[in-house]
Amino acid sequence: MSGGAPGTPDLSAAEVRAALCAAMRALVSEGLTRGTAGNLSVRTAHGMLITPSGIKPDALTPGAIVALGADGTPLEHNCRPSSEWRFHRDIYAARSEVQAVVHVHSPHAAALACQRRGIPAFHYMIAVAGGDSVRCADYATFGTQALSDAALVALAGRRACLLANHGQIAVGTSLANALDLAGEVEELARQYQFAASAGVPVLLGARDMRAVMEQFKGYGARHGESEEQT
């Protein structure tokens, strides 16, 4: 596998592997995951590079990152890929704009997911996920095709979703973009829980959210940044 990954165009494959290791450690330091929970991938010309199964971030090395073909077939035999490789594969197949996928069991997002609740338009920043809500996917056993199918439904027209009794998925046009979105979703989940604990949050209507989405379109173009930032 030579050349940079589409989601990290200025990096070599070796540098992408190192970036995935650094990103997993950053997720731990930011409290978005712990232990061996969570996984990351970046699209490549041949398929994807994905974090392995069962290796803690502080022990993760570039050599442990697994290369998979577009159909999920291993392109090398160093480590087992994350058990969640199916939804990474299926997201890349369904969404040509997605260049990186982040899956974490971040505390506030997971807490809402365990209630099988999504995040409604209680705050305009919900639009960072691509619509007027962050949906919660139907429950399915981890690592199964059923979970991947449920995730794709919840991600339709969105860049993030919750997974019932599980965690969250965030996707992006780069690894940095997807990581930022995962952090935003966790913060929105935290704020929503605070708001709901004080009463019933007042939700923004469809007209207000359409105006926000329109504003977001121009924001990235003006600042040379992702439209998910504001």
Residues with a catalytic annotation lie at 84
Distance separating alpha carbons of residues 47 and 67, to the nearest angstrom:
7
Q: By C-alpha distance, which of 121, 194, 113 is closest to 147?
A: 113
Q: First vs last Cα of the chain: how many Å apart?
A: 36
Helix (DSSP H) and strand (DSSP E) numbers for the chain? 6, 7
Q: Measured between alpha carbons, how far is 112 from 100 in angstroms, rounded to an integer?
A: 24
What letters, b where the CB count within 10 A reaches 16 and e where it falls short, cover 105-131? bbbbbbebbeeebbbbbbbbbbbbbbb
